[in-house]
Amino acid sequence: MALLDITGVYKTYTDNNRSITVLEDISFSVEPGEFVCLVGPSGSGKSTLLRMIAGLDQATRGSILYGGRPVTEATDHIAVVFQSFALLPWLTVSGNVELGLEARGVPKQERQQRANRFIDKVGLDGFEEAYPRELSGGMKQRVGIARALTVEPELLLMDEPFSALDALTAQNLREEVLTLWRDETLPVDSVVMVTHGIEEAVLMADRILVMSARPGRIKADVPVDLPRPRNPKDEAFSRFTDRIYSLVL
Amino acid sequence: MRRTHSWAVSAVFALILTAFLYSAYRGHAIAEAASASVSVDPAVLPYYAFRSFLRMLAAYLLSLTFALVYGTAAGLSKRLERVLLPILDILQSVPILGFFPAAVYFFVTLFQGRTAGVEMASVFLIFTSQAWNMAFGVYESVTTVPRFLGEALEAYGVRGWLKYLRLYLPASIPKLVYNSVVSWANGWYFLSPAEVIGTGLLLPGLGSFASAAAQQGLLGRTMAAIGTLVAVVVAMNVFIWRPLSQWAGRFRYEFSPGGGREPESFAYELWRGSRAFNSIRRLFTRVFDRMFIALLSLGTAARRLRQGKSGRGLTALRWVANVLLLATAVYVAVVGARSLVTVFAHPLPAESARIPLGLLASSLRLTAAFLISAAWTIPAAVALGHNDRLYQLVTPVLETLAAVPATALFPVIVFFLATRPGGMNLASILLLLTGMQWYLLFNAIAGVRAIPRDLREAARSFGLHGWLYWKRVVLPAIVPSVITGSITALGGGWNALIVSEYVAYKGSVLSAFGIGYLLDRAVYESQNFQMIWLSLAAMVLVIFLLNRFFWRRLYDRAVIHFRFDE
């Protein structure tokens, strides 16, 4: 059974007498172990779709099933990483990373232990007592990733996680995310990542879903059969990227 | 909220104020000549409403001009800022009653006791309850214009008056409109004291009507006056302030995409569609354009003059003007210092020993009112901030309620509570509440709505609900706004003490002991200058010190710890 099943999803906003359809007839599924990227121009509703999968928003029509059950609200099995990091400025790195566990009523001692494991995994060992304002952009996103991993989700949702970072930091983080995804000791099975960087998608994804401009529709569902680890300088890589570009435009 | 401060300037200005107070005290006897009675016939209510409205309008236009000139000057010139801001700080801390003697002496003797003088005094008093926060609003707007905008304009040769018209004036509009609403509410709040100046001066208006009716125990007529006042306030809110706020929205440069919208005003469309309004507007625009072009050429001419040979003459002239201004300030300050000596030269009145106790009593009352306000406004703000539909529905109602001056209702509250034991105390706290809670509420709501959407979604996605959500997300996020709201609320509270601790009713005076009571007694009964000065000084000092050394510090620390850095 597919981990995530999306069928005939529409999203329409009604405002006074005007209605705007941002998503039209979205259908796809995500299998356990897949890394799926959603690419498309701005306004194609990618982020809205991600939020609906996370249970933060409801579809106007259609169904979103996770593990066979409809997604109605935020669940323990799905965690989100945000483009703007979304860290609470008044909590330390530990405080932020422990947030999901705190919400579940996990006692302080255990929370700290579990959180520290992931703070180490993302390379922020020693920064547990730092505040977000003392961290660089890349470090902040690492905190965001650690926070998501700490709740040990099966599905990781990422909304343009590297857009707010400079090129070098983004590159480092991409590699790290791939490593974490492939890490057997972590329960993260599948990843759905929204991005408008096509190279990024080709570098990371098993499958690329190309979306159209508003109203967002799935234009193409392209499996990326390039062997890992992928090298952006490869000819095959460039050709693949060109192919995706032509699909987007 | 960056404020520069200068003890020297504050001290000099305090002395200048003292000088005014002293000379006013010496001249108050002249003021008896003007009209001494006001009709309580309900038939005059519409006319009285009109007179009150005119007074408020005159005061508002003065405040607007003052705010634009003062705020822009302080915002654009570092030198002026050092002098102007401390002065504004003090002015804001002085309760309106403190300006009575100055108003009375200055304007009434100027017009030799004629009604015009009294009207001007009244307008001036209303002005002092409106102008300061508007000036602050303009100052804040001008100083927070992003630097790159100013630089871009300079790069295209846009300077001087044109830069002001295209950049600083539009930037000031949102805060101006918001503060105008607050100022008018403040003005209505202090309408009664402004129309019943001292012991014998009465001006025809809603405030004096309500006051006179209350004094004679005519409850029904008092209610009628209150009702008329409420009607005027609501009408202004619907037809002027809401459309104006909607119009002012286009001058903001932060965009919240998809975030909550401000409630729309149907009256806005009415104005836009009205032909009369549009033709007047077009006429104004044409006249203004011509005037502005003339101003521009004046400005270029002045600049050329300054750079040319006569430039030296102009600089010399500026020098002379500065020296003259400084000399006047010093002279007045010396007069003030000398009058201060008289305050302490004679033996102090026995009552002045009760001032510390009065301060304590009032502080306790204020604290009680503050805690009650916080207890309901913060949960209400959280509820309204999170639910967009509720916000659209309820906010207009709240804004109207906030604009209705509770001082008008005070005679009624007093009538019901005065006879009970501890009744005046309760009535006084109730009145304080009404002068404080709205500031807290609206600031808290703004704080909740300013929580970034991403943060709220992150919290939800990780399962934060109920109390944990409040503890980890909402409450910390609104700390800076609540502090700002508290500062303004307490400021309003101190001012409200004047009308809430001393009430004339049915020929006698009902009171609750406190610093407001002491001050009112000194102004209305004993007219003892020492007592007036000491109570005022005590109040201003306490407010000033609290603001500077407690609230300001708290706010600065809070901003570092709780701010969202995007």
A88/B563 CB distance under 8 A:
no
A54/B461 CB distance under 8 A:
yes
- The single-letter code of the amino acid at B270 is L
A82/B457 CB distance under 8 A:
yes
- pLDDT for position B68: 94
The mean pLDDT value for B277-284 works out to 85
User: What's the gap in Å between the CA of A13 and the closest CA on chain B?
Assistant: 11
Q: Which of B461, B473, B563 to mutate to test the interface with A (most CBs of A within 10 A)?
A: B461
Q: Does residue A108 surpass a pLDDT of 70? A: yes
User: What's the gap in Å between the CA of A104 and the closest CA on chain B?
Assistant: 7
- Per-residue pLDDT tens for B417-463? 777 777 788 888 988 898 889 989 988 998 898 888 889 999 999 99
- pLDDT for position B113: 64
Q: Does residue B211 surpass a pLDDT of 60? A: yes
* Domain B1-10+38-254 class in CATH: mainly alpha
User: What's the gap in Å between the CA of B559 and the closest CA on chain A?
Assistant: 11
Q: Does residue B27 surpass a pLDDT of 70? A: no
User: What's the gap in Å between the CA of A197 and the closest CA on chain B?
Assistant: 21
**Chain B residues touching A51 at Cβ < 8 A:** 457
- pLDDT for position B552: 83
B interface residues, A as partner, C-beta within 8 Å: 452, 454-455, 457-465, 468, 472-473, 476, 561-566
Average predicted confidence (pLDDT) for chain B:
82
User: What's the gap in Å between the CA of B354 and the closest CA on chain A?
Assistant: 45
Greater pLDDT, B87 or A236: A236
* Most confident segment among B11-15, B247-251, B274-278, B353-357: B353-357
User: What's the gap in Å between the CA of A220 and the closest CA on chain B?
Assistant: 28
Tell me, yes or no, whether A93 and A180 share the same domain: yes
Q: Does residue B493 surpass a pLDDT of 90? A: no
B461/A56 CB distance under 8 A:
yes
Q: Is A107 on the interface with B (CB under 8 A)?
A: no
- On the question of a common fold for B1-10+38-254 and B351-566, the answer reads yes
Scanning every residue of chain B, which has its alpha carbon at the shortest distance from the alpha carbon of A144? B458
Tell me, yes or no, whether A61 and A94 share the same domain: no
Of B455, B463, B465, nearest to A88 by CB-CB distance is B455
Confidence of residue B32 (pLDDT cuts 50, 70, 90): very low
Tell me, yes or no, whether A41 and A73 share the same domain: yes
Nearest Cα neighbor of A145 from A79, A201, A232 is A79
**Virtual torsion, Cα B52, B56, B62, B68, nearest 10 deg:** -170
- The single-letter code of the amino acid at B316 is A
| Helix, strand, coil percentages in chain B from 3-state DSSP, rounded to 5 | 85, 0, 15
Q: Does residue B5 surpass a pLDDT of 60? A: no
Name the burial class of residue A155, with classes exposed (0-12), middle (13-18) and buried (19+) by CB atoms within 10 angstroms of its CB: buried
Tell me, yes or no, whether A66 and A110 share the same domain: no
User: What's the gap in Å between the CA of A243 and the closest CA on chain B?
Assistant: 33
**Chain B residues touching A132 at Cβ < 8 A:** 565
Q: Does residue A94 surpass a pLDDT of 50? A: yes
Q: Is A130 on the interface with B (CB under 8 A)?
A: no
Neighbours of A239 (CB within 10 A): 10
Q: Which two tokens stand for residue A91?
A: 């909590």
Tell me, yes or no, whether A47 and A131 share the same domain: no
Q: Which two tokens stand for residue B107?
A: 């304007």
Q: Is A90 on the interface with B (CB under 8 A)?
A: yes
B565/A133 CB distance under 8 A:
yes
Of A80, A89, A103, nearest to B464 by CB-CB distance is A103
User: What's the gap in Å between the CA of B471 and the closest CA on chain A?
Assistant: 11
- The single-letter code of the amino acid at A241 is T
User: Domain containing A140: what range?
Assistant: 87-152+166-186
Domain range summary for chain B, segments of one domain joined by +: 1-10+38-254, 305-345, 351-566
Q: Is A147 on the interface with B (CB under 8 A)?
A: yes
Question: 3-state secondary structure string, B188-231?
Answer: HHCHHHHHEECCCEECCCHHHHHHHHHHCCCHHHHHHHHHHHHH
Scanning every residue of chain A, which has its alpha carbon at the shortest distance from the alpha carbon of B463? A103
B460/A74 CB distance under 8 A:
yes
Q: Does residue B163 surpass a pLDDT of 90? A: no
Q: Does residue B272 surpass a pLDDT of 90? A: no
The mean pLDDT value for A98-109 works out to 92
CB contacts < 8 A, A to B, total 63
- pLDDT for position B388: 84
How many domains does one find in chain A? 2
- pLDDT for position B1: 38
Scanning every residue of chain A, which has its alpha carbon at the shortest distance from the alpha carbon of B469? A103
Task: Tell whether A144 is covered by a domain.
Answer: yes
Name the burial class of residue A133, with classes exposed (0-12), middle (13-18) and buried (19+) by CB atoms within 10 angstroms of its CB: middle
Tell me, yes or no, whether A180 and A91 share the same domain: yes
Scanning every residue of chain A, which has its alpha carbon at the shortest distance from the alpha carbon of B458? A86
- Per-residue pLDDT tens for B305-320? 777 766 677 778 888 8
CATH number of residue A135's parent domain:
3.40.50.300
The mean pLDDT value for B91-118 works out to 73
User: Does the bond joining A215 to the residue before it have cis omega, within 30 degrees of 0?
Assistant: yes
Task: Tell whether A157 is covered by a domain.
Answer: no
Apex B185 CA angle, B180 and B189, nearest 5: 145
Q: Does residue A128 surpass a pLDDT of 50? A: yes
The mean pLDDT value for A138-152 works out to 94
A80/B463 CB distance under 8 A:
no
Q: Are B450 and B484 in contact (CB under 8 A)?
A: no
Residue B534: how many CA atoms within 13 Å on its side-chain side?
24
A88/B562 CB distance under 8 A:
no
- pLDDT for position A222: 94
CA distance A200 to A196: 8
Tell me, yes or no, whether A228 and A203 share the same domain: yes
Q: Which of A16, A84, A111, A151 to mutate to test the interface with B (most CBs of B within 10 A)?
A: A84
Residues 6+ apart with CB under 8 A from B401: B438
User: What's the gap in Å between the CA of A95 and the closest CA on chain B?
Assistant: 10
Q: Is A236 on the interface with B (CB under 8 A)?
A: no
Residue B225: how many CA atoms within 13 Å on its side-chain side?
33
A80/B461 CB distance under 8 A:
yes
Q: Does residue B416 surpass a pLDDT of 60? A: yes
CA distance A5 to A27: 8
Instruction: Specify the 3-state DSSP secondary structure of A188.
Output: coil
Q: Is A86 on the interface with B (CB under 8 A)?
A: yes
A88/B468 CB distance under 8 A:
no
B452/A55 CB distance under 8 A:
no
Q: Is A163 on the interface with B (CB under 8 A)?
A: no
Return the DSSP state at B549. Answer: I
Question: Token match 């062997």: residue?
Answer: A227
Task: Tell whether A65 is covered by a domain.
Answer: yes
Task: Tell whether A82 is covered by a domain.
Answer: no
Cα B418 to the chain's mean position, in Å?
29
Apex A189 CA angle, A183 and A193, nearest 5: 100
CA distance B77 to B79: 5
Q: Is A55 on the interface with B (CB under 8 A)?
A: yes
* Domain B351-566 class in CATH: mainly alpha
Scanning every residue of chain B, which has its alpha carbon at the shortest distance from the alpha carbon of A135? B565
The mean pLDDT value for A165-194 works out to 91
Scanning every residue of chain A, which has its alpha carbon at the shortest distance from the alpha carbon of B476? A90
Q: DSSP for B455-519?
A: HHHHHHHTT--HHHHIIIIIHHHHHHHHHHHHHHHHHHHHHHHHHHSEEEETTEEEE--SHHHHH
A88/B561 CB distance under 8 A:
no
Separation in Å, CA A126 to CA A93, A123, A150, B274: 10, 9, 17, 66
Helices (H) and strands (E) in chain B, counts: 26, 4
Cα A78 to the chain's mean position, in Å?
10
B564/A51 CB distance under 8 A:
no
Q: Which two tokens stand for residue A214?
A: 């508003």
B457/A80 CB distance under 8 A:
yes
Greater pLDDT, B5 or A102: A102
- Per-residue pLDDT tens for A52-80? 999 999 999 999 999 888 998 888 899 99
**Chain A residues touching B473 at Cβ < 8 A:** 88
Q: Which of A80, A88, A135, A149 to mutate to test the interface with B (most CBs of B within 10 A)?
A: A88
Task: Tell whether A161 is covered by a domain.
Answer: no
- Per-residue pLDDT tens for B523-546? 777 777 788 888 888 888 888 888
